[in-house]
Structure 1
Amino acid sequence: MGCSVAVAGASGYAGGELLRLISGHPEFELTAATAHSQAGQPVAAVHPQLTGLDLVLGRTEPASFDGADLVFLALPHGQSAALAAQLPAGVKVVDLGADFRLRDASLWTRYYGGEHAGTWTYGLPELPGQRAAIAASDRVANTGCYAATITLALAPLIAAGAVDPADVVVVAASGTSGAGRSAKVSLLASEVMGSLSPYKVGAHQHVPEIKQATGATSLSMTPVLAPMPRGILATVTARALGPDPREVLSAAYADEPFVHVLPEGVWPHTAATAGSNSCHLQATVDIDSGRVIVVSALDNLGKGAAGQAVQVANLMVGLPETTGLSVFGVAP
């Protein structure tokens, strides 16, 4: 018998991607999906790409998850903790929000506001030691999308002493789905098409998470909204300290199924990772400044959210982490 799975917050973009992945998963049985304002609607009415999935969205309340072995929380930041506290101890939970990612309560208050809910196992299997920790956990905090993109590019370099952790600069462009599905003037097609615009400059909420995951002590990040629905492309630079960055990344990810250091001279682009759970990396050293440059691309709804959550859940229930996930993107 497969694992009974439920999704809270299934009406959003990440929630819809979770439903798609779970529905095609050979060992997961989707038994419930809930929403707030869309409760009572058939899934296909909210997510037309899931036509044929015969399920009605329920209300996001504890009773909706009765009988589930595993629950994904795809709720807005700050809303997961209250629901998680009402789920039985034996139920495994993967939170796609930020509620349980940070160890430092003061940083939660500074970047998100309100009371810190606590800290769960961090859900990035490619970090040293995390795969075993995830497999042994019943509660896991999935990474943020920018955090996954940047951490995969940066963490091995800091660990190997290849870059200065006190001198990291990131410029990263994200598709509009990263901002969620709520109606906002800044996300209207007329505002986004033909335009790049920075936002949350110098104060993005993923900065403390990235520093915590990578060991960086100073990180300047400029996020950019790009006129595309999904995908992240991050350019990470840092002062070089010695070891060849490409060799470090190649060694770190040699056996990883979802992280690919591209052939020399080939650079990542977002379209190549769309629909996949993969991250593409390339590194070089700037011939003028001598700084290390790493470019990282992934699908913010895949490896940056729902795909990563399924990868984590596979480990939690004892399955191969690649189960039900695609390494390959969709093109064109």
Structure 2
Amino acid sequence: MTYSVAVSGASGYAGGEALRLLSAHPGVRIGAVTAHSNAGTRLGELQPHLHSLHEHLLEETTAENLAGHDVVILALPHGASAQMASQLPEGTLVIDAGADHRLEDSRAWEKFYGTTHAGSWPYGLPELPGQREQLRGATRIAVPGCYPTSAMLALQPGFADGLLEHDDVVIVAASGASGAGKALKPHLMGAEVMGGMSPYGVGGGHRHTPEIEQGLSAAAGAPVHISFTPTLAPMSRGILATATAKVKPGTDAARLREAWTNAYDNEPFVHVLPEGQWPSTKAVLGSNHVLMQLAFDEHASRVVVSCAVDNLTKGTAGGAVQSMNLALGLDEATGLDFAAVAP
């Protein structure tokens, strides 16, 4: 069976990445591609790398243009996805690559986003404990944020196995400039970004903080509190997250490694590297794969996990396609099991 898929926000980075993956997916046919200000433009003018889709004309993002497809991927700013999703048929698989349906706590949403909470959908990170069951057959899916994908995958095995303390969790992550979207912003110009790094959202203010806490708390079975600091790195795409947490007394390096390898040994896309080898963003470029390594800082009684993802693939569009496959009953890796680009 071939499923028809529409993509909104097709002129942006997330929408373009979704189309790149879908264009090589053997089980789908790309239908409507929509945008807002770029409606009426030929897709090839804005996404020239999508050769097979050059002649597609960007349509207005309306419920009428998106309806009639088996799957709709919403790559829209927060606030826009919920409004559009509410107008689409219940039987359509709607995958929100934005933030609108990620958080379960309405108070956290209102605090960090300042608008009315639209409710939560099944969360599109299959590697979290019990999450695949929530995604199979789902008709509404919330794709995780890119930072939460890396941070939660980095630490959830330790929390799920009861090896980590629930407070004093520190996550520092560096992201490429594409994580901020395609809109023109002076601080994201090449002259500003290249050759330097800078922090932002410091002091617990980044909107991904409650999402990371939500996922880690679910794995731990109790509230987990984090300090999260994102940084902007001089690269176009990729995230390198370094996550640390206090280890419970009596836990040694061997027990920690056992927890991580047990969690991910059978995962198609998450890989714990051999001891002594550390991940880099270049090693996951353009792929749905995740590389990580961990170490036990005995002096500080902390586990230190370094995790690399491509923010546009596994961190956004790849997560959407992986979740789509599960919801439709396809093999999870369909259209995604390809290597990264190197050098």
Match of 1:237 in 2: 244
Match of 1:218 in 2: 225
For 2:240 and 2:164, how far apart are their aligned partners in 1?
20
For residues 289-300 of structure 1, the aligned pairs below 5 Å read 289-300=300-311
Match of 1:62 in 2: 63
Match of 2:124 in 1: 123
Does the 8 Å contact 2:8/2:76 carry over to 1? Answer: yes
Report which stretch shifted further, 18-27 or 52-61.
Answer: 52-61
RMSD over aligned Cα atoms: 1.0
For 1:173 and 1:198, how far apart are their aligned partners in 2?
9
Does the 8 Å contact 2:67/2:89 carry over to 1? Answer: no
Report which stretch shifted further, 319-328 or 116-125.
Answer: 319-328
Shift of 1:156: 1.2
Match of 1:38 in 2: 38
For 2:198 and 2:139, how far apart are their aligned partners in 1?
39
Q: Give 2:267's match in structure 1, choosing from 249, 252, 256.
A: 256
- Matched residue SS, 2:165: strand
- Matched residue SS, 2:215: helix
1:48 aligns with 2:48: yes
Match of 2:172 in 1: 171
Instruction: Identify unmatched segments of 5+ residues in structure 2.
Output: 218-222
State the TM-score, normalized to the length of structure 2. Answer: 0.95
Offset from partner CA, 1:293-328 (integer Å, 9 cap, x none): 000000000110000100000011110010000342
1:206 aligns with 2:208: yes
Match of 2:313 in 1: 302
Offset from partner CA, 1:46-77 (integer Å, 9 cap, x none): 11111331311110001111320000000011
Match of 1:25 in 2: 25
1:324 aligns with 2:331: no
For residues 261-276 of structure 1, the aligned pairs below 5 Å read 261-276=272-287
For 1:222 and 1:24, how far apart are their aligned partners in 2?
35
For 2:154 and 2:256, how far apart are their aligned partners in 1?
10
Q: Give 1:228's match in structure 2, choosing from 223, 229, 235.
A: 235
For residues 58-137 of structure 1, the aligned pairs below 5 Å read 58-137=59-138
Q: Which amino acid aligns with 2:316?
A: A
- Matched residue SS, 1:200: coil
For 2:316 and 2:83, how far apart are their aligned partners in 1?
21
- Number of residue pairs the alignment of both structures matches: 332
Shift of 1:7: 0.5
Offset from partner CA, 1:128-159 (integer Å, 9 cap, x none): 11101101311010100000000001111111
Q: Which amino acid aligns with 1:214?
A: L
Identical amino acids, percent of aligned pairs: 53
1:11 aligns with 2:11: yes
Match of 1:196 in 2: 197
For 2:79 and 2:240, how far apart are their aligned partners in 1?
26
Does the 8 Å contact 1:246/1:282 carry over to 2? Answer: no
For 2:295 and 2:163, how far apart are their aligned partners in 1?
12
State the TM-score, normalized to the length of structure 1. Answer: 0.98
For 2:95 and 2:166, how far apart are their aligned partners in 1?
30
Does the 8 Å contact 1:276/1:329 carry over to 2? Answer: yes
For 1:162 and 1:269, how far apart are their aligned partners in 2?
26
For 1:33 and 1:9, how far apart are their aligned partners in 2?
8
Report which stretch shifted further, 104-113 or 216-225.
Answer: 216-225
For 2:25 and 2:309, how far apart are their aligned partners in 1?
21
1:154 aligns with 2:148: no
